[in-house]
């Protein structure tokens, strides 16, 4: 009998040890924002560093690893998220532009992790339409979501949640960590903020932040696209010509500001977003922007001075939104510490693509140019990442899914198209790591009018092909021309380079099996675009 009992004891001890061993698998906290360009992060040393909106993200970088060459594969929101979940390029996961609906029935990393015993949670912006699959708990913003008092869709229905969106989403994440999580199992939690997406509405507590600061201007604020192929001159994302004083910048243009404008103008007016605010929120907003607007009207600016003013207002509101995100990271990390989870939790910060903060005179993204091609990627993995390290290998959002699976020790499906970043995070440099990345953007015609294009970026060069308007190519030497102002495509001395890069590009398309139809011409084809300057 004694013997039998000791066998049972041994058996139980074995399983307890086994489950404890499972508990050792790291937690993953993935904080992901919308449109946060790396050059608006202090640790990335961009021209906005002096403003430093991101002390908490900078701290994460100083404790972990920052990736300097991190790129998206399709610079737009939904597609970037679909690539992350599936580990496959847009043409493989089926979500090529924001108009698509994501097929949640497909293989995605949260489902796989869940199958291995991980708990999975998603809060904030999904932008993939449909009911999220693969998560134990979730709450997502419908579509783009709203900054103030947003509606959220929960597994049991949709309801309004009062507060500022970044705080609301952080609250949900903190609540899950403290109250809903099963402490015996590891988790992956995706906290996906709307901020700093257009229309840039900061939290009330940040409305006067940077009032006394002059935001440095990007070197290319007055770029006239003289050397680009025609598409750059036919876009609709210029601060000068397309950014609306009222809709985008919340400038009071009427005596009835904050009152419902005529029905006709409502959708393209500030009111479209402000009508959501409570009377007290509106009062505080008005108190903060009223004096700024009065000074603007008084100055009666035009030409370049007006562009400069719009840039300041835009950049400040954008950075104020980022300040809210940065505080969210601080709160989430404090919560991990409070719950004694920080030692075994990997914290990652990333954003769905980069963004133009006046670079080339623009806002928005979509292009394969550097500012919107780059994504921030900072990872803190206690005991693994070397504090303050900076990695220069080329990585993509395509790699995240495989990385998360690898971190959890899960099997990586053969058909995922990226590579696990775990060796890089461990400080190793695999000999066969990629030397170039593939990019393909599909959303045209659409808002901002950036035509479809694909391309290759190597460590030094970038070759892009705009194929909807004939054969338009651009080639840049990023070493001598980091701002991409001199298109060297078509120059005799670069004929061999263009030839080689085209071959490499074709090879990438073959490798990723991109057989997208590029012959289709849009109805809005502008004949004058060809060859125009
Ligand atoms: C909205 C924005 C655009 C933005 C797209 C895509 N307009 O249409 O400026 O490019 O979303 O953004 S807004 O008036 O609604 O702000 S994405 O990040 O979701 O892809
Ligand atoms: Ca986005």
CB 306 within 8 A of CB 340: no
Residue ranges of domains in the chain = 204-313, 439-529
**What is the rounded distance in angstroms from the CA atom of residue 396 to the CA atom of residue 418?**
8
pLDDT per residue over 481-505, tens digit each? 999 999 999 999 999 999 999 999 9
Nearest CA-CA partner of 463 in 453, 475, 454, 451? 475
| For ligand 1, mutation pick of 195, 198, 250, 367 (most atoms within 8 Å of CB) | 198
Please state the atom number of ligand 1 nearest to the C-alpha of residue 364.
10
Q: Ligand 1: distance of its center to the CA of 78 in Å?
A: 11
Q: Which helix (H) or strand (E) holds 325?
A: helix 303-338
Is pLDDT at 390 greater than 50 in this prediction?
yes
Q: Given the CA of residue 78, which atom of ligand 1 is nearest to it? A: 20
Pocket around ligand 1 at a 6 A CB cut-off: 34-35, 76-77, 98, 127, 144, 197-199, 364, 447-448
Evaluate whether 277 touches 285 at the Cβ level (below 8 Å).
yes
| Ligand nearest to C-alpha 141 | 1
- Determine the residue of 32, 197, 449 to mutate for testing ligand 1's pocket, defined as the one with the most ligand atoms within 8 A of the Cβ atom: 197
Q: What spacing in Å lies between the alpha carbon of 68 and ligand 1's midpoint?
A: 26
pLDDT classification of 16: cutoffs 50, 70, 90: very low
Confidence band of 5 (pLDDT split at 50, 70, 90): low
Rounded to 5 degrees, φ, ψ at 107 are -70, 125
Q: Which residue's CA lies nearest to atom 13 of ligand 1?
A: 198
Q: How far is the CA of 92 from the centre of ligand 1 (A)?
A: 23
Pairwise pLDDT comparison (59 vs 266), residue with the higher score: 59
Ligand 1, atom nearest to 366 Cα: 10
pLDDT of residue 18: 46
Indicate if the pLDDT at residue 468 is higher than 60. Answer: yes
For residue 20, what pLDDT is reported?
46
Predicted confidence at residue 338, as pLDDT, reads: 98
Give the span between the Cα atoms of 516 and 454, in whole angstroms.
11
Atom of ligand 1 nearest to the CA of 76: 20
Q: Please, which residues have CB within 8 angstroms of residue 485's CB and are 6 or more apart in sequence?
A: 220, 223, 227
Nearest 10 degrees: Cα torsion 300, 302, 304, 309: 40
Is pLDDT at 12 greater than 50 in this prediction?
no
29: part of which helix (H) or strand (E)? strand 27-33
- Residue 259: pLDDT band (50, 70, 90) is low
pLDDT at position 252: 87
State the DSSP code for 523: T
Ligand nearest to the CA of 366: 1
What integer best gives the mean pLDDT of the chain?
A: 93
- The residue whose C-alpha atom lies closest to atom 18 belonging to ligand 1 is 77
DSSP three-state, residue 155: coil
pLDDT of residue 253: 81
Convert 386-425 to b/e letters by CB count within 10 Å (16 or more is b).
eeebebebbbbbbbbbbbbbbbbebebeeebbbbbbbebb
CA dist 360 and 357 (Å) reads: 9
Measured from the alpha carbon of residue 199, the closest ligand is 1
Proximal ligand: closest to the CA of 72: 2
Residue 284 near residue 204 (C-beta atoms within 8 A)? yes
Q: Would you place residue 1 in the very low, low, confident or very high pLDDT band (cuts 50, 70, 90)?
A: very low
pLDDT > 90? residue 46:
no
Residue 127 CA, closest ligand 1 atom number? 19
Cα(85)–Cα(516) distance, rounded to whole angstroms?
A: 21
> Quick one: which atom of ligand 1 is closest to the CA of 199?
16
Closest residue by CA, ligand 1 atom 12:
77
- Tens digit of each residue's pLDDT (9 = 90 or more) over 309-338: 999 999 999 999 999 999 999 999 999 999
pLDDT mean over 405-414: 98
Q: Hey, whose CA ends up nearest to atom 17 of ligand 1?
A: 77
- Does the pLDDT of residue 292 top 60, yes or no? yes
What band does 262 get if pLDDT is binned at 50, 70 and 90? low
CA–CA separation, 392 and 400 (whole Å): 16
Which ligand is the nearest neighbour of the Cα of 352?
A: 2
pLDDT at residue 159, as a whole number: 98
**Band of the pLDDT at 260, cuts 50, 70, 90?**
low
Which SS3 state, helix, strand or coil, does residue 494 take? helix
Compute, in angstroms, the gap from residue 376 CA to the centroid of ligand 1: 19
Residue 365 alpha carbon, nearest atom of ligand 1: 10
Q: How many angstroms separate the CA atoms of 12 and 391, rounded? A: 45
Question: 160-167, long-range: CB within 8 Å, 24+ apart, which pairs?
Answer: 162/278, 164/203, 164/204, 164/324, 165/141, 165/193, 165/194, 165/195, 166/193, 166/194, 166/195, 166/203, 166/321, 166/324, 166/325, 166/327, 166/328, 167/203, 167/324, 167/328
Q: Of 9-18, 361-370, 414-423, 465-474, which gets the smallest average pLDDT?
A: 9-18
Ligand nearest to the CA of 273: 1
Q: What percent of the chain has pLDDT over 90?
A: 87
Closest to 255 in 3D by CA, of 293, 287, 281: 293
Q: How much distance in Å is there from the Cα of 268 to the middle of ligand 1?
A: 13
Distances (CA, A) of 414 to 64, 83, 87, 108, 392: 29, 16, 11, 13, 26
List strand residue ranges (DSSP E) for 147-260, in order: 151-154, 157-160, 187-192
- Provide the CATH number for the domain formed by 439-529 in this structure: 3.30.1120.10
pLDDT at 258 > cutoff 60: no
Amino acid 531: pLDDT: 42
The rounded Å distance from CA 37 to ligand 2 centre is 10
CB–CB of 186/26 below 8 Å?
A: yes
Neighbours of ion ligand 2 (CB under 5 A): 34-35, 77, 352
379 phi/psi in degrees, rounded to 5 = -130, 130
- CA of residue 307 to ligand 1 center, whole Å: 21
């Amino acid at each position: 009998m004694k013997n039998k009992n000791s066998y049972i004891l041994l058996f139980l001890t074995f399983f307890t040890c086994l489950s404890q061993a499972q508990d050792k698998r790291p937690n993953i906290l993935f904080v992901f924002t919308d449109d946060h360009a790396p050059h608006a992060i202090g640790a990335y040393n961009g021209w906005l560093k002096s403003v430093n909106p991101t002390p908490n993200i900078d701290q994460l970088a100083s404790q972990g690893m920052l990736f300097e060459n991190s790129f998206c594969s399709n610079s737009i929101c939904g597609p970037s998220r679909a690539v992350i979940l599936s580990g496959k390029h847009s043409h493989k996961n089926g979500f090529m532009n924001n108009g698509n609906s994501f097929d949640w029935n497909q293989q995605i990393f949260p489902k796989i992790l869940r199958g291995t015993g991980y708990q999975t949670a998603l809060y904030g912006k999904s932008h993939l339409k449909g009911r999220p699959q693969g998560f134990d708990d979730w709450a997502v913003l419908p579509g783009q979501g709203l900054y103030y008092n947003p509606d959220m869709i929960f597994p049991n229905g949709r309801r309004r949640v009062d507060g500022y969106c970044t705080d609301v989403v952080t609250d949900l994440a903190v609540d899950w960590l403290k109250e809903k999580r099963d402490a015996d199992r590891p988790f992956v939690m995706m906290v996906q903020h709307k901020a700093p997406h257009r229309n840039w509405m900061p939290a009330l507590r940040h409305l006067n932040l940077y009032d006394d600061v002059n935001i440095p201007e990007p070197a290319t604020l007055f770029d006239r696209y003289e050397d680009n192929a025609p598409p750059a001159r036919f876009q609709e994302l210029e601060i000068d010509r397309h950014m609306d004083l009222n809709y985008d910048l919340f400038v009071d243009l009427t005596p009835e500001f904050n009152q419902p404008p005529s029905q006709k103008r409502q959708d393209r007016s500030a009111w479209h977003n402000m009508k959501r605010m409570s009377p007290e929120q509106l009062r505080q907003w008005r108190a903060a922007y009223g004096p700024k607007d009065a000074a603007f009207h008084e100055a009666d600016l035009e030409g370049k001075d007006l562009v400069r003013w719009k840039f300041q207002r835009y950049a400040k509101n954008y950075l104020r939104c980022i300040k809210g995100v940065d505080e969210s990271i601080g709160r989430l990390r404090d919560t991990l510490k409070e719950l004694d989870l920080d030692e075994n939790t990997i914290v990652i910060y990333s954003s769905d693509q980069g963004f133009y903060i006046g670079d080339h005179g623009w806002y928005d993204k979509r292009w394969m140019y550097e500012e919107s091609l780059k994504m921030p990627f900072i990872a803190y993995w206690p005991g693994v990442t070397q504090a303050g390290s900076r990695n220069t290998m080329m990585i993509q959002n395509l790699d995240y899914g495989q990385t998360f699976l690898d971190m959890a020790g899960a099997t990586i499906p053969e058909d995922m198209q990226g590579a696990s970043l775990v060796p890089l995070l461990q400080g190793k440099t695999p000999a066969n790591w990629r030397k170039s990345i593939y990019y393909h953007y599909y959303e045209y015609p659409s808002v901002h009018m950036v035509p479809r294009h694909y391309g290759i970026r190597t460590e030094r060069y970038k070759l892009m092909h705009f194929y909807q308007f004939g054969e338009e190519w651009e080639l840049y030497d990023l070493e001598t021309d980091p701002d991409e102002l001199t298109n060297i495509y078509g120059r005799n001395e670069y004929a061999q380079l263009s030839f080689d890069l085209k071959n490499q590009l074709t090879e990438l398309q073959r490798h990723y099996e991109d057989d997208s139809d590029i012959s289709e011409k849009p109805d809005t084809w502008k004949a004058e675009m060809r060859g125009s300057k």
